[in-house]
Amino acid sequence: MGQDCIFCKIAAGEIPSDVLYSDDVCFVIRDIAPAAPVHLLVIPNQHFTYLDGLTAERHGMVGAMFQAAAQMAAREGIVKSGYRLSVNQGDDSGQMVDHLHLHVLGGERLGAMA
């Protein structure tokens, strides 16, 4: 567990949160400060921060996260209208939580990417 990591605490049930989906690898919650009508976070159970530490053993984790994102997009009804997946990495991206996560954004026409 990452020390004082909010997503590890949610994963461990120490901070209550509405979990929309979970499997052996990852879980999905709604972002507390949504940037779009649908704004989900796909979070691996295991604490992991930077993609430059992505080794072959973690390829399955990343694949499972994308699959969960696609399933949740279907459940939220935004597949046809479209959605965006984004991952912040490091200071310039504005990353606030140093536990890897996929943002799933949709439900309206999204602005241009920075």
d(CA 19, CA 53): 27
Q: Is 8 among the residues that bind Zn ion (CB under 5 A)? A: yes
d(CA 113, CA 5): 28
Beta strands in the chain (DSSP E): 21-22, 26-30, 38-44, 83-86, 102-106
Q: Is 88 among the residues that bind ligand 5GP (CB under 6 A)? A: yes
Q: Is 19 among the residues that bind Zn ion (CB under 5 A)? A: no
Q: Least distance from C-beta 11 to ligand 5GP, angstroms? A: 12
Out of 30, 47, 58, 75, the residue judged to bind Zn ion by CB under 5 A: 47
Residue 39 appears among annotated catalytic residues: no
- # of chain residues touching Zn ion (CB under 5 A): 6
Of 47, 59, 101, 103, catalytic: 101
Q: Is 33 among the residues that bind ligand 5GP (CB under 6 A)? A: yes
99 CB neighbour count, 10 Å cutoff: 21
- Of 64 and 97, which CB lies nearer to ligand 5GP in the complex structure? 97
d(CA 23, CA 109): 30
Active-site residue numbers? Answer: 101
